[in-house]
Amino acid sequence: MRGWQGQPHRHSLAKMGIKTSKLGYNLNDMKIKTSTMNFKIVIKPKEIMKDYIALHGLLTDLELPDSLDGGKIPHNEVWVREDIYQDKDRFKQVIWHETEELNLMTSQNITYKKAHAITTQKEIIKFGCSGIKEE
Protein backbone atom coordinates (compact mmCIF):
# COMPACT_ATOMS: atom_id res chain seq x y z
CA MET A 1 0.00 0.00 0.00
CA ARG A 2 1.40 3.37 -0.93
CA GLY A 3 0.28 6.56 0.75
CA TRP A 4 0.42 10.21 -0.22
CA GLN A 5 3.07 12.55 1.12
CA GLY A 6 3.77 16.26 1.34
CA GLN A 7 4.80 18.86 3.87
CA PRO A 8 1.73 21.14 3.50
CA HIS A 9 -0.58 18.20 4.18
CA ARG A 10 1.51 17.11 7.16
CA HIS A 11 1.24 20.58 8.66
CA SER A 12 -2.51 20.83 8.07
CA LEU A 13 -2.97 17.48 9.83
CA ALA A 14 -0.72 18.63 12.69
CA LYS A 15 -2.99 21.64 13.24
CA MET A 16 -5.84 19.17 13.79
CA GLY A 17 -3.82 17.27 16.41
CA ILE A 18 -2.89 14.41 14.06
CA LYS A 19 0.74 13.51 14.52
CA THR A 20 2.76 12.23 11.54
CA SER A 21 6.42 11.61 10.86
CA LYS A 22 8.52 14.48 9.45
CA LEU A 23 9.20 12.57 6.23
CA GLY A 24 5.57 12.09 5.27
CA TYR A 25 2.91 9.62 6.29
CA ASN A 26 4.37 6.63 8.02
CA LEU A 27 1.37 4.60 9.10
CA ASN A 28 3.20 3.58 12.26
CA ASP A 29 3.39 7.25 13.27
CA MET A 30 -0.12 8.44 12.42
CA LYS A 31 -2.09 9.19 15.56
CA ILE A 32 -5.08 11.16 16.71
CA LYS A 33 -4.28 12.81 20.01
CA THR A 34 -7.02 13.84 22.42
CA SER A 35 -6.51 15.40 25.83
CA THR A 36 -6.66 11.98 27.51
CA MET A 37 -5.69 9.38 24.87
CA ASN A 38 -3.67 8.74 21.74
CA PHE A 39 -5.29 6.71 18.97
CA LYS A 40 -3.23 4.92 16.32
CA ILE A 41 -4.63 5.24 12.79
CA VAL A 42 -4.72 1.83 11.09
CA ILE A 43 -5.54 1.42 7.40
CA LYS A 44 -7.73 -1.61 6.65
CA PRO A 45 -8.91 -3.12 3.35
CA LYS A 46 -12.53 -2.89 2.25
CA GLU A 47 -12.91 -6.64 2.80
CA ILE A 48 -12.65 -5.96 6.54
CA MET A 49 -14.32 -2.54 6.70
CA LYS A 50 -17.17 -3.32 4.27
CA ASP A 51 -19.17 -0.08 3.78
CA TYR A 52 -17.75 1.61 6.89
CA ILE A 53 -15.15 4.29 6.15
CA ALA A 54 -13.86 4.62 9.73
CA LEU A 55 -14.36 2.81 13.03
CA HIS A 56 -12.72 3.34 16.39
CA GLY A 57 -12.08 1.37 19.53
CA LEU A 58 -14.44 3.42 21.70
CA LEU A 59 -17.48 1.95 19.95
CA THR A 60 -19.35 -0.41 22.23
CA ASP A 61 -20.07 -3.97 21.10
CA LEU A 62 -23.64 -2.93 20.32
CA GLU A 63 -22.40 -0.13 18.02
CA LEU A 64 -19.85 -2.24 16.13
CA PRO A 65 -21.08 -3.44 12.74
CA ASP A 66 -22.11 -7.10 12.51
CA SER A 67 -19.82 -7.40 9.47
CA LEU A 68 -16.77 -7.51 11.76
CA ASP A 69 -17.89 -11.02 12.70
CA GLY A 70 -17.03 -10.63 16.36
CA GLY A 71 -13.74 -8.89 15.61
CA LYS A 72 -12.69 -6.33 18.17
CA ILE A 73 -11.07 -2.98 17.43
CA PRO A 74 -8.35 -2.26 20.01
CA HIS A 75 -9.40 0.48 22.42
CA ASN A 76 -6.71 2.90 21.18
CA GLU A 77 -7.12 2.43 17.41
CA VAL A 78 -9.02 4.15 14.61
CA TRP A 79 -9.49 2.01 11.51
CA VAL A 80 -9.84 3.79 8.16
CA ARG A 81 -10.75 2.05 4.90
CA GLU A 82 -7.83 1.92 2.46
CA ASP A 83 -9.60 3.67 -0.45
CA ILE A 84 -10.44 6.59 1.85
CA TYR A 85 -6.78 6.83 2.90
CA GLN A 86 -5.75 7.00 -0.77
CA ASP A 87 -8.00 10.06 -1.35
CA LYS A 88 -6.10 12.71 0.64
CA ASP A 89 -8.93 15.26 0.79
CA ARG A 90 -11.50 12.69 1.89
CA PHE A 91 -9.00 11.18 4.34
CA LYS A 92 -8.38 14.57 5.97
CA GLN A 93 -12.15 15.10 6.32
CA VAL A 94 -12.66 11.65 7.83
CA ILE A 95 -9.77 12.14 10.26
CA TRP A 96 -11.17 15.55 11.21
CA HIS A 97 -14.52 13.87 11.96
CA GLU A 98 -12.94 11.08 14.02
CA THR A 99 -10.77 13.59 15.94
CA GLU A 100 -13.78 15.76 16.84
CA GLU A 101 -15.85 12.74 17.81
CA LEU A 102 -13.10 11.20 19.96
CA ASN A 103 -12.42 14.53 21.65
CA LEU A 104 -16.07 14.77 22.68
CA MET A 105 -16.14 11.18 23.88
CA THR A 106 -12.90 11.36 25.88
CA SER A 107 -12.94 14.89 27.26
CA GLN A 108 -16.67 15.34 27.86
CA ASN A 109 -17.67 11.71 28.42
CA ILE A 110 -20.33 11.92 25.70
CA THR A 111 -21.77 8.73 24.18
CA TYR A 112 -20.78 7.75 20.65
CA LYS A 113 -24.23 8.44 19.19
CA LYS A 114 -24.39 11.95 20.66
CA ALA A 115 -20.75 12.73 19.74
CA HIS A 116 -21.37 11.49 16.19
CA ALA A 117 -24.49 13.66 15.81
CA ILE A 118 -22.71 16.78 17.11
CA THR A 119 -19.68 16.14 14.91
CA THR A 120 -21.80 15.49 11.82
CA GLN A 121 -23.52 18.87 12.26
CA LYS A 122 -20.12 20.60 12.61
CA GLU A 123 -18.83 18.70 9.58
CA ILE A 124 -21.74 19.84 7.40
CA ILE A 125 -21.01 23.45 8.36
CA LYS A 126 -17.25 23.07 7.81
CA PHE A 127 -17.15 20.91 4.65
CA GLY A 128 -20.66 21.01 3.19
CA CYS A 129 -22.68 17.85 2.65
CA SER A 130 -20.24 15.90 0.49
CA GLY A 131 -20.19 12.31 1.64
CA ILE A 132 -22.19 12.97 4.80
CA LYS A 133 -25.38 11.13 5.66
CA GLU A 134 -27.41 12.45 8.55
CA GLU A 135 -29.14 9.88 10.70
pLDDT in tens, the chain (135 residues): 444 444 455 556 566 555 544 434 445 578 888 888 899 999 999 988 888 999 998 887 777 776 665 568 898 999 999 999 999 889 999 999 999 999 999 999 999 999 999 999 999 988 887 555 544
Distance CA 78, CA 85 (A): 12
pLDDT for the residue numbered 131: 55
Q: H helices within 1-135, ranges in order? A: 7-15, 46-49, 82-86, 88-107, 112-127
* pTM: predicted TM-score of the whole model, two decimal places: 0.74
pLDDT value at residue 116: 93
| Side-chain half-sphere CA neighbours of 13 within 13 A | 29
How far apart are the C-alpha atoms of 23 and 37, rounded to whole Å? Answer: 24
What pLDDT is recorded for position 73?
Answer: 87
Give the domain ranges of the chain: 7-127
Pairwise CA distance, residues 59 & 16, whole Å: 22
